[in-house]
Amino acid sequence: MNAVNRRIYLYNRYERFWHWSQALLVILMMITGFEVHGSYKLLGFGNAVNLHTVAAWTLLTLWAFTIFWQFTTDEWKQYIPSLKKVDAMVRYYAYGIFLNAPNPFHKTAAKKHNPLQRLAYLALLSMVSPVIWGSGLFYLFYSSWKSLGIDAWLSLEAVAFVHTAGAFMMLVFFIAHVYLTTTGHTPTAHIKTMVTGWEEVD
Amino acid sequence: MLSRLKFILPLMAAGALLAAPTASAVPAEPAAATAPQLETIIKPKASTADHSKFKELNRNFQTGPQVTEACLICHTEAAKQVQHTKHWTWESTDPKTGQVRGKKNIINNYCTSPVSNEKDCMACHAGYGWKDDKFDFKVEKNVDCLICHDQTGTYRKLPGDAGHPVYKRVEFPKGSGKFVEPADLKKVAQSIGMPTRSNCGSCHFFGAGGNGAKHGDLDASLQHPGKYLDVHMDEKGLNFTCTTCHATSSHEVSGSRYNVAAAVKGPAHIRGKQDESPAACQSCHSDKPHHEAMLNQHTEKLACQTCHIPEYARNEIGTEASWDWSQATIMGADGKPMVSKDSAGRRKFDSKKGTWVWDSYVIPEYRWYNGVSTYKVIGDKIDPSKTVQINEVGGAPGDADSRIWPTKVHRGKQPYDKVNNYLTVQHTAGEDHTALWHNYDWQKAIGAGMKAAKLPYSGEYGFVDTEMTWPITHMVAPKHDALACEQCHSKSGRLQGIEGVYLPSRDSNKWLDMIGWTLVMLSLIGILIHGGLRIYTGKNKGQHK
């Protein structure tokens, strides 16, 4: 217990900036998006649309920088999926966690995400993101549909349907993601790491 | 006493009904004192002719037609031009459907029809002497130049004179103790100028026999409007007259509810250029007038008026929401005709005409509309088991040539022939024994009206519910008063029930919502169970991965 814990620097300044600003933008877009969808009244439809649009462009800009960062730092490799130890992770979350079993995954600077996390993030990137951004960009450029001839084969209703479906997936991811941040050695350990960049390990 | 009242009250009511046109007593609008930079755009420049210097006009005219004859000495084509317009013929042919409409041919649910009532109704005809079906539409001197061009504000036409102005001092309304002086026709003729708001308004503000009664977006408040009421006509601002938008050439006034340019596309037009619909908003503003593309996109589904006229009748004058003729001929408790007013002083009941309901600051009813209306003309069959549409508004949800328009729907209850199933023409105005307002006898009034309309009458009448739909286009609000997004983009917004558009916030896929929120709930329940178990077992405390 009193052993001096080793600390490793997991998330550098840009990565933390990127993560938290993305988090804020995604939360903002969910709040405004579900208002535009008609789930509740909060900011007013016009304000919600404007904020949603600004947040979308901001997030796209952030991603442009982040993609550049991922490739220049080789961090993109963190998302290469691996099936190794996935079953162990599933078993851990399904019952090991209740039985004081050790987490089968050990974070290192080269492998920040557990195998389940890798799969989840890859699914987010390759499935949820295209659904949201594909439909979202059509939505954003609705006013140009006519001049581009898009209105002949696409309806706003269909785009809204796909976009909303993506939004629900995002919301479910968000709930699970936030919950799983509490599964560190203390409920706030993961969050602290994401704020400071430093992870305490044995 | 009874006979005296019977005599006076009908006259008073008839007077009230058609007092409207007499409102040209409102003086011609003064020159605007402010916004001089706009003066040059809005105000017609001084004429190159001073009509008071013309010897043709320097004589004492006895009648309207004499003045017209003098006008025609120089303006040789003017009468012929006017005779081609609705202001003269009271008739209009739909270019798309070929249907012949116009006041002469339709039966509306306000005063119903001028047929058999010409002597009164023609106080608003741009002519002299239309008192029955024998009126000769080719006589040029019977065109009334002055009702549109008088600038003295003294030229008045009263009901009962078949369109002639007041020639002799007369008590009006009869028994009121108020007198109308005849205009000095020489002065009037010498004053003439381009039509002002007073000229057009003398009839158009007072349709259906009362200030604001008919249109709702046209009433006497537009004589001196502020910016809130009408951003274009604002007396201290742009100060438009009616003809600024209703550009006119050869006396053909542009813009008409009979043939509405409902979905004008493309850029703004250069004024003066050949223009099919100069009165349409788009002719100045284009179909993409906003800075934001997303707002411009709305013009593919919405008329400009839908957002920019958030309410009509935006004043205390108000407008009539309904007119129930079935209550006419009901007498007061003393068996005598009676009249009553609502709390705002607007007519509420009249034994001659029935009951009215008025409204102010009215939220329009929205309809898809392509500019084509099909009217019930005299003799058209109706289905009395349903509400009769005086005009069927054309257009379909999502149709490329239709837009969502704000409309005033005026609801009426009016007589129809129960055997022949058509709306009846009734002889209301007049002092003969068949006139409804004189004798309070529907049977005789309908009999006389139908005879004048040359339509068989079975002798059995009933009352049927009717609706008349008027596109709203005047009283454009300043931009800050336009509708806010959420007034339509919400579950219970203005466009509830409008089909053919996917309206974010109003519309959503019920199944997707159900599945989506179920998944969200399951996730939350899942983490509650998982988290609860973690706390309960307490065994992961102090652990790390």
Inter-chain touch B486–A179, beta carbons under 8 Å: no
Inter-chain touch A105–B490, beta carbons under 8 Å: no
Domains contained in chain A, number: 1
Q: Is residue A123 part of a domain?
A: yes
Q: Is residue A100 part of a domain?
A: yes
Q: Concatenated DSSP letters for A8-40?
A: EE-S-HHHHHHHHHHHHHHHHHHHHHHHHHTS-
List b or e across B474-510, with b for residues whose CB sees 16 or more CB atoms inside 10 angstroms. Answer: bbbbbeebbbebbebbbeebbbeebeebebbbbbbee
Please list the pLDDT of chain B residue by residue as tens digits (545 residues).
444 444 454 444 444 444 444 434 343 333 333 333 444 444 455 788 999 999 999 999 999 999 999 999 999 999 999 999 999 999 999 999 999 999 999 999 999 999 999 999 999 999 999 999 999 999 999 999 999 999 999 999 999 999 999 999 999 988 899 999 999 999 999 999 999 999 999 999 999 999 999 999 999 999 999 999 999 999 999 999 999 999 999 999 999 998 899 999 988 987 767 777 889 999 999 999 999 999 999 999 999 999 999 999 999 999 999 999 999 999 999 999 999 999 999 999 999 999 999 999 999 999 999 999 999 999 999 999 999 999 999 999 989 999 999 999 999 999 999 999 999 999 999 999 999 999 999 999 999 999 999 999 999 999 999 999 999 999 999 999 999 999 999 999 999 999 999 999 999 999 999 999 999 999 999 999 999 999 998 754 544 43
Q: How far A18 CA lies from chain B's nearest CA (Å)?
A: 25
Q: Report the C-alpha gap between B397 and B259 in whole angstroms.
A: 19
Q: Which residue of A has its CA nearest to B485?
A: A46
Q: Identify the band that residue A4 occupies on the pLDDT scale cut at 50, 70 and 90.
A: low
Q: Which domain holds residue A137?
A: 6-201
Of B293, B505, B519, the CB nearest to A168: B519
**Residue A165 contacts B where some CB pair is shorter than 8 Å:** yes
The more confident residue out of A109 and B119 is B119
Q: How far A153 CA lies from chain B's nearest CA (Å)?
A: 15
Inter-chain touch A97–B293, beta carbons under 8 Å: no
CATH (domain of A111): 1.20.950
**Residue A130 contacts B where some CB pair is shorter than 8 Å:** no
Q: Identify the band that residue A81 occupies on the pLDDT scale cut at 50, 70 and 90.
A: confident
Q: What is the sign of the dihedral through the CA atoms of B398, B399, B401 and B406?
A: negative
| C-alpha torsion angle, residues B277, B278, B279, B280 (rounded to 10) | 60
Kindly state the tokens that stand for B353.
């005409």
CA-derived radius of gyration, chain B: 28
Q: How many CA atoms lie within 13 A of B527 on its CB side?
A: 17
Q: Which residue of A has its CA nearest to B535?
A: A98
Q: What is the mean pLDDT of residues A167-191?
A: 94
Q: Report the C-alpha gap between A78 and A84 in whole angstroms.
A: 14
Kindly state the tokens that stand for B510.
């019920």
* pLDDT given for residue B154 in this prediction: 96
Q: Which of residues 69-108 of A touch B (CB under 8 A)?
A: 93, 97-100, 102-107
Interface test with B, best of A143, A146, A151 (most B CBs within 10 A): A143
Q: Is residue A1 part of a domain?
A: no
Q: Is residue A59 part of a domain?
A: yes
Q: Is residue A106 part of a domain?
A: yes
Distances in Å between the Cα of A88 and the Cα atoms of A79, A109, A119, B530 are: 19, 21, 14, 18
CA-derived radius of gyration, chain A: 20
Q: Is residue A96 part of a domain?
A: yes
List b or e across B192-228, with b for residues whose CB sees 16 or more CB atoms inside 10 angstroms. Answer: beebbbbbbbbbbbbbbbbbbbbbbbbbbbbbebebe
Of B489, B537, B545, the CB nearest to A105: B545
Secondary structure tally for chain A: helices H, strands E: 8, 2
Which DSSP category does A139 fall into? H
Q: Which of residues 22-61 of A touch B (CB under 8 A)?
A: 35-38, 41, 44-46, 49
- Nearest CA to A176 among B56, B193, B526? B526
Interface test with B, best of A7, A37, A50, A155 (most B CBs within 10 A): A37
Q: Are B319 and B408 in contact (CB under 8 A)?
A: yes
* pLDDT given for residue B270 in this prediction: 75
Q: Report the C-alpha gap between A168 and A166 in whole angstroms.
A: 5
Q: Is residue A49 part of a domain?
A: yes
Inter-chain touch B504–A172, beta carbons under 8 Å: no
* pLDDT given for residue B44 in this prediction: 52
* pLDDT given for residue A82 in this prediction: 83
* pLDDT given for residue B355 in this prediction: 98
Q: Are B120 and B172 in contact (CB under 8 A)?
A: no
Residues of A in contact with B543 (CB under 8 A): 100, 102-103, 185
- Does the model's ipTM exceed the 0.90 cut? yes
* pLDDT given for residue B46 in this prediction: 73
- Nearest CA to B86 among B264, B246, B308? B246
Of B296, B512, B524, the CB nearest to A143: B296
Q: Is residue A93 part of a domain?
A: yes
Q: Report the C-alpha gap between B294 and A142 in whole angstroms.
A: 7
Q: Report the C-alpha gap between B254 and B248 in whole angstroms.
A: 6
Inter-chain touch A36–B490, beta carbons under 8 Å: no
Q: What is the mean pLDDT of residues A103-111?
A: 86
Which DSSP category does A141 fall into? T
